[in-house]
Copies of this chain bind each other. A is one copy, B any other.
């Protein structure tokens, strides 16, 4: 056992050392060289699709034998069309501005020192994720674009697909003269190596978990390296007294039903006690097949509503299910959201701009909407051209993360012999 463990650890140590070397050689690389590498990956994915699909089939067979659910198998599955979509997305990524080298600030001090703060790569980025093999390509390309080396740790159910994809990626970037070790996969998917990865402070500048709430919680609890937490969305739509009837129903139904399984879908609706259209809203949701839980105020005003329990207010259904509550004021709505929300996306529907401003200031969340659906919290919808996930923490990056979230800064100081 000790020998097996130390073998794991040595493999991981080698990955760590090689990552740091690769990161050093990516530093200061021109944007064109990084884009060439990404284009090379895009071409290689298409030309070597057969190899990737063979490996993916083996994962799918093993997954079926192990009794994975149909939805997990679907997330794991690749085909020509999905590989084509991944390859297309890489070409789109090459068109996005490279944040590295951008000057964030420039200034001069009275002693003549000239300072400039510039964006630089983070260094070595760790990504730990589940099932979906498209994340393998996505994460590798986003890290390359920002000059970071990446250590990928996917799940055992996708290991054959990931090994095939990473072999293709490494070969493609080596072809254009970049170090293959810029992209490395942890092939040992045991818990022991994951636990070891969580504590590689000498190697990882950041570790980003992408996947279930459970995975994210484990990483946050166990990691000593810096983590960017991407998380749950218990999002609310608050319909104020002055809300337009049609707009409120449209937004609430869209936010709940347009894609109920995602983190920016609404899970709760709060309605001001004087808004007169609660019954119609409940009906509109029911027509879309939504199961309604409500407090007493809702049960009084509408039919076919289940009694909401205390747990409902904190729950993320991720399904055609919603809990609705009557509140007596905007303050009560804000307080309820700040108590039960997950600081992701919150919306107010209101024709009163002062009230909307109060809500937007008072609600503590990454994105606060006035008269729009919560479903727009997304890197692409925000116009970032790429998305690394949606941060629900407050340090470094909050909300949809574009490429700058994979960068740090460095201050360059030019002097003429200044001493203190």
Interface residues of A (CB under 8 A from B): 24, 27-28, 107, 109, 113, 115, 120, 122-123, 201, 205-206, 220-221, 224, 226-228, 244, 247, 250-251, 254-255, 258, 338, 356, 360-362, 364-373, 375-376, 381-383, 393-396, 398-399, 408-420
Contact = CB atoms under 8 A, between A and B. Distances in A.
A371 B408 contact: no
A411 B395 contact: no
B247 A412 contact: no
A368 B251 contact: no
A202 to B, nearest CB: 11
Contacts of A393: 205, 226
A395 B394 contact: no
A353 to B, nearest CB: 9
A414 B372 CA distance: 7
Contact of A417 (B115, B247, B420): B247
Copy count, this protein chain: 2
A22 to B, nearest CB: 13
A179 to B, nearest CB: 16
B220 A368 contact: no
Given A254-B420, A258-B420, A413 B368 contact: yes
A420 B205 CA distance: 36
Given A367-B411, A376-B413, A361 B27 contact: yes
B373 A420 contact: yes
Contacts of A414: 356, 370-372
Given A369-B413, A396-B396, 6 more contacts: A250-B419, A370-B413, A370-B414, A370-B415, A371-B415, A371-B417
Contacts of A417: 244, 247, 250-251, 371-372
A244 B24 CA distance: 29
Nearest to A367: B411
A369 B228 contact: no
B226 A258 contact: no
A257 to B, nearest CB: 10
B382 A115 contact: yes
Contact of A383 (B28, B109, B221): B109
A372 B366 CA distance: 40
Nearest to A108: B383
A351 B368 CA distance: 52
A382 B107 CA distance: 9
Contacts of A109: 381-383
Contacts of A123: 364, 394
Nearest to A375: B420
A219 to B, nearest CB: 10
A80 to B, nearest CB: 28
Contacts of A255: 419
Contacts of A120: 364
A360 B414 CA distance: 10
A395 B220 contact: no
Nearest to A251: B419
A412 B360 contact: yes
A411 B128 CA distance: 27
26 contacts: A24-B338, A28-B361, A28-B362, A113-B372, A123-B394, A201-B220, A205-B394, A226-B227, A226-B394, A228-B395, A250-B417, A250-B419, A251-B417, A360-B412, A364-B410, A365-B410, A366-B410, A367-B411, A368-B412, A370-B414, A371-B414, A371-B417, A372-B416, A372-B418, A373-B418, A399-B411
Nearest to A365: B410
Contacts of A247: 417
Contact of A419 (B27, B338, B364, B375): B375
